[in-house]
A and B are shown apart, each in its own frame.
Chain A
Amino acid sequence: MRAVLDIDDLHLRIGRMPVLRGVDLTVEAGQVHGLVGESGAGKTMVGRAVLGILPSAARITDGHVTFAGIDLINLPAASRRGLLGRRMSMIPQDPMTALNPVYRIGRQLTDVLRHSLGLGRQAARQRALELLEQVRIAEPGRVLRQYPHELSGGMRQRVLIASAFACGPEFIIADEPTTALDVTVQREILRLIRKLQQDKGTAILFVTHDLGVVAKICDRVSVIHSGRIVESGTASQLFAVPQHPYTKALFAATPRYDRPGNRLVPVPRQLTLRLLEDAAAYDQRRRMLRHA
């Protein structure tokens, strides 16, 4: 298997706070790689570091990120912009805020086509219509003329998915793309992403906190806690025999619709504390190494 994205020992701080503590992760071509973790584990920052859209206070302090053989960390901004849209893109978390409220859908779909592929106005419109059909939007001609506020959340997410796949990228980061949607819409959107991904052979880094979602869509999974990957493997492997105690606890903590009688089991406090202590000890070791 060929790796599309290779993250090696990535360290990142926001201000003085370590957020990523040596993340190792490899996404293979044409696969969906789940990145699972609880809030604050650093999973969103991994995606943003890859895309180069970190918040201004965030700094990458160590490590490598390689995309299709290109070193992303030391890439000049202009070259990075050449990759974005065309070869890498993103499905955002909240479709309600990810579309520009003052412009029509048509403009927001065609702009990336015209910019990245150099299509003319007519060709871009034609392509946008095809894309909307691919994400199963009825009456695509009408939707192109509509404003975001005229569409439902599910429809907007379909538009954003169409936009992410627009230029046929090799790699997409999906940052909790179903979290803001209700459950029935969630399933449709997941199926849609999976189908497009398989048809086009796109690799996806699928960031989520929801193990149910992971089971539905991912080929491989990495579990992240306090800025480190604690376990990584194929989805079936991980679900069958989770190795790390945190992964086991995460499974136990997942509500099951098929077993409604079961009580919810939170991740044990002792375990969380131990993982955080490990992280703190790790930070201290790094500090000492740096000063030595």
Chain B
Amino acid sequence: MSGSYFLRRLLLAVPTLFGVAVIVFVLLRVVPGDPIAMMIPPGAGADDIENLRRVYGLDQPMLVQFTRWLSDVARGDFGVSINLRQDVGRLVLSRLPASLELAVVATALAVLSGGLLAIAGVYWRGRWPEAVVDGLTGLTLAIPDFLWGLVFILVLGVLLPVLPISGRLDPRQAIAFSSQFYLAESLLRGEFRVLGMLFTHLVLPAAALALPLMAVIARMLKTSLSEAMTQDYVLVARVKGFTRGRIILREALRNAMIPTVTLTGVQFTFLVGGTVLVERIFSYPGIGNMAIGAVISRDLPLIQGLILTFAALFIAINLLVDLTTVMLNPRVRHG
């Protein structure tokens, strides 16, 4: 494992992103739906439409449009949103931190609860807690994240109104932040009242996103933990007089984590995809919510910018997962 490997992976991201850019650009112009048609008032004349098309460069051949856009992107200019009339780069950056915080909290919840479930299931193998774990993972695996979101809103927001169900903060509270990373910022500043408020807003969408991922982690880790518990080194550890708990946590877990981390990395990209609907349901101001708005108004530059952001995020996650696997596995580290 060396820096050159890392560098190679980073370089490989460039053609991947280029491919994504081509596909998105072409698809958006092939599928029906016209951004100009979405913005003109009823009764506008044909030349008004022509005018608008010229303003946004939509009258040019697709290849010309694409090269123009790509050279702008290469210089860090993602164009101007047709619908919101603002710089796409700035728009995305203003919303990205909210989504990242949501995704990180959801992942943390999923990893913690999934890990605990798997360990409990293996520790009490063949007894009732294992059945509870299996039932729970089956249930959470079967229900998608957005449905959990609706269930949470109904139960914890409406029937038993204990938690807020929309937004990132209480709109009646005016709190000044110097960045968009509200959670990280209030944590660093030690403002725990604000932190608590942020968290009550975050916990339901995060839990909705976390549950399916938790199920995947729990099931995968439980399988590989059970596998690891049949290995000879576990037998040797038993003969050393170690307790079952110690053997699971200190002998089997690290081995079992290797396949689980790989799979979790793949599943994590589904979580990021899931933010789109879940952010919408909870009116959470992230890039997922913004993406739905952009698609509805056929806001081509904004959609393109958002999709490139999602793609970059996926690549970064995959790189992180691979690095983690390498760190866990000495055989790969030395190979």
**Which residues of A are in contact with B by a Cβ distance under 8 Å?**
51, 53, 56, 81-86, 88-90, 92-94, 97-103, 111-112, 115-116, 147, 149-150, 160, 163
* In the complex, B236 has a CB within 8 A of chain A: yes
CB < 8 Å neighbour of B233 from A85, A89, A93, A97? A97
Q: A51-B238, A98-B232 are in contact. List 20 more A-B contacts (CB 8 A).
A: A51-B239, A56-B126, A84-B238, A90-B235, A92-B232, A92-B236, A93-B232, A97-B231, A100-B233, A100-B237, A101-B233, A101-B255, A102-B254, A102-B258, A102-B328, A111-B240, A111-B242, A116-B241, A149-B330, A149-B334
Which residues on B sit within 8 Å (CB–CB) of A160? 236
Chain B nearest Cβ from A205, distance in angstroms: 13
Which residues on B sit within 8 Å (CB–CB) of A101? 233, 255, 329-331
B-side interface residues, number (CB < 8 Å): 22
Closest B residue by C-beta to A52: B238
Please report which residues of chain B, range 235-291, place their CB below 8 angstroms from some CB of chain A when the two chains form the complex: 235-243, 251, 254-255, 258
In the bound complex, do residue A149 and residue B331 qualify as a contact, i.e. CB atoms below 8 Å apart?
A: yes
Q: Assuming A56-B126, A100-B255, A102-B328, is B241 touching A85 (CB within 8 A)?
A: yes
Chain A nearest Cβ from B235, distance in angstroms: 6
Please report which residues of chain B, range 276-335, place their CB below 8 angstroms from some CB of chain A when the two chains form the complex: 328-331, 334
In the bound complex, do residue A94 and residue B241 qualify as a contact, i.e. CB atoms below 8 Å apart?
A: no
Closest B residue by C-beta to A112: B240
User: 19 A-B residue contacts at CB 8 Å?
Assistant: A51-B238, A53-B239, A56-B126, A81-B243, A82-B241, A83-B241, A84-B238, A84-B239, A84-B241, A90-B236, A92-B232, A101-B255, A102-B254, A102-B329, A102-B330, A111-B242, A115-B242, A147-B331, A163-B236
State in angstroms the CA–CA spacing of A132 and B334 once bound together: 23
Chain A nearest Cβ from B216, distance in angstroms: 23
Closest A residue by C-beta to B329: A102
The residue in A56, A81, A100, A147 that gathers the most chain B C-beta atoms within 10 A of its C-beta is A100
State in angstroms the CA–CA spacing of A133 and B126 once bound together: 43
Which residues on B sit within 8 Å (CB–CB) of A99? 233, 236
In the bound complex, do residue B239 and residue A89 qualify as a contact, i.e. CB atoms below 8 Å apart?
A: yes
Closest B residue by C-beta to A78: B243
In the bound complex, do residue B240 and residue A97 qualify as a contact, i.e. CB atoms below 8 Å apart?
A: no
Closest B residue by C-beta to A87: B241
In the bound complex, do residue B238 and residue A53 qualify as a contact, i.e. CB atoms below 8 Å apart?
A: yes
Closest B residue by C-beta to A90: B239
**Which residues of B are in contact with A by a Cβ distance under 8 Å?**
126, 231-233, 235-243, 251, 254-255, 258, 328-331, 334
Which residues on A sit within 8 Å (CB–CB) of B240? 84-85, 89, 111-112, 115-116, 163
The residue in A84, A85, A102, A150 that gathers the most chain B C-beta atoms within 10 A of its C-beta is A102
Which residues on B sit within 8 Å (CB–CB) of A98? 232-233, 235-236
Closest B residue by C-beta to A164: B239
State in angstroms the CA–CA spacing of A243 and B35 once bound together: 97
Chain B nearest Cβ from A204, distance in angstroms: 14
State in angstroms the CA–CA spacing of A53 and B334 once bound together: 34
Closest A residue by C-beta to B237: A100
Closest B residue by C-beta to A48: B235
State in angstroms the CA–CA spacing of A42 and B258 once bound together: 35
State in angstroms the CA–CA spacing of A88 and B254 once bound together: 27
Q: Assuming A84-B238, A85-B239, is B334 touching A147 (CB within 8 A)?
A: yes
Which residues on A sit within 8 Å (CB–CB) of B334? 147, 149-150
Chain A nearest Cβ from B74, distance in angstroms: 43
In the bound complex, do residue B330 and residue A86 qualify as a contact, i.e. CB atoms below 8 Å apart?
A: no
Which residues on B sit within 8 Å (CB–CB) of A56? 126
Q: Assuming A92-B232, A102-B330, A149-B331, is B241 touching A86 (CB within 8 A)?
A: yes
Chain A nearest Cβ from B333, distance in angstroms: 9
Which residues on A sit within 8 Å (CB–CB) of B241? 81-86, 112, 115-116
Chain B nearest Cβ from A128, distance in angstroms: 14
In the bound complex, do residue A53 and residue B235 qualify as a contact, i.e. CB atoms below 8 Å apart?
A: yes
State in angstroms the CA–CA spacing of A147 and B334 once bound together: 10
